Structure 1
Amino acid sequence: MSTKLASDLRDLLGDEIVADDRNSIAAHSGDKWFATHPPDLVVFARSTEDVSKLLHFASREKVPVTARGGGFGYVGGCVPARAGIALSLIRMNRIKEINFTDAVAIVEPGVFTAELKSAVCAQQLFYPPDPASMKDCTIGGNVATNAGGPRCLKYGVTRNYVIGLEVVLGNGEILRTGGRVHKNKTGFDLIGLFVGSEGMLGIVTWRLVSCSCSCSCP
């Protein structure tokens, strides 16, 4: 199955982002937890379109997909327990915008948390969530797990700073919710539904995060 699956995905997405070699499989079989399980192959998504095409294909073909960020969790959240496809988001690593006036940043899931904090600090903004592994964990993983950190007692957790999301649903449909306003009471709180859902409801492909204005970053 894995040979045909790899061939089909290369036809769909291109050779350069589909890997089924031994080293790639081993590197995406687990996180920092003790349990591992190898996927059939790995897809390194470059864009929302890649994720959408992949999930549409996987839904049609009934192939399991397990999303992966930095792979620095300790609970086995990115272990592909049912094999199938390990979807790595590490190449989606762009900070698309930092806006001081609106005090927001638009970030792809593969951006490391410490990188975002440094980038907004350079623009006199402060992004508070600070998980202990922030040099190694990604914003995508933070959103998936609703990460906090030592400062969460004072500033809150990731959910308190996510005000917009782009999510690819299991059938490949792209959903956008939220916006630049820091308080939005229109409709259901879909952001609260997706943040902390560990990728089970959809794959977040970018997020709009709010920041605090700060003359010095603590």
Structure 2
Amino acid sequence: MSLHSATVPPAPVLFRVNRWLSWLENTLTLCAAAAIFFLMLVAVFQILSRTLFGTAIYGYIDYIEQASPIFALLGVSYCQRLGAHVRMDLILRGLPKRLLWAMEGLAVLVAIAIITLLVDSTFDNFLRAWYRGDSSMDIRLPVWPSKLMVPFALSVLWVRLLLQTVDYARLVVYPDAVPIAVPMLETPEEQARTEIEEALGREGRTGT
């Protein structure tokens, strides 16, 4: 048995929960991408119909407004998992591992507190729209589905943040353990190498 496996206990529950949550995040991100593609087709049809036939899609603006939360928020937890949100980590890169994981965990705890307040307030907003029967201005579409999408997406993000808190706590105790539910920080050299490999891969696929 290696020293690494002897000193760092496995975390099968964390691994399974992260795998299930990652599947959910991937599915929601695909739904967001499909919504963007569908709205692009609708926009093209809108332009063609106005140009060729002098007519427009009835309630086009209402449909766009109701679909906005889908592509704006469904991928937010996926981005958190990958560490793709805008962040300043220049100072963190030089910290010792244990302190690094502690600082990352503290930032996630602050995010959990903020997201908790947002989930509560946005769900109340959904309930008001549900009870009052709020609708869009033009074709009277009910607005509660789009308002429900906001607390749902934020709740998925909340679960991701909670999972990352658990993993950061594990990494504080075992700083040399392999991260499971948190993104890996890359050095500028590693980021440049990754971007070059991705660019070369795209060029290779294009050339073939």
State the TM-score, normalized to the length of structure 1: 0.21
Higher helix share: 2
Which has the higher relative contact order, 1 or 2, with Cα contacts under 8 A spaced 6 or more apart? 2
Higher-Rg structure is 2
| TM-score normalised to structure 2 length | 0.21
Q: Which has the larger share of strand?
A: 1
